Amino acid sequence: MVSDVKPEVIVLDLHMPGETNFSPQAVKSRLTRGSRLLAISLSNDEEAKALSEGFGAVVLLDKIDLARTLILAIVQLGHPVRMH
What's the rounded Cα separation, in Å, for the pair 9 and 19? 20
Domain extent for 17: 2-77
Query: Contact 39/52 with Cβ under 8 angstroms?
Result: yes
In degrees, rounded to 5, the angle at the alpha carbon of residue 11 between the alpha carbons of residues 4 and 59 is 125
pLDDT of residue 42: 86
- Evaluated on CA atoms 35, 46, 48, 40, the torsion sign reads negative
pLDDT of residue 84: 40
The count of domains in the chain is 1
What's the rounded Cα separation, in Å, for the pair 77 and 84? 12
Question: Residue 82 falls within a domain, yes or no?
Answer: no
Residues of the chain with pLDDT under 50: 81-84
pLDDT of residue 19: 63
Question: Residue 83 falls within a domain, yes or no?
Answer: no
pLDDT of residue 37: 87
pLDDT of residue 46: 92
What amino acid is encoded at 56 in this protein?
A: G
For the domain that residue 13 is a member of, what is the CATH number? 3.40.50.2300
Q: What's the DSSP call for residue 84?
A: -
pLDDT of residue 60: 92
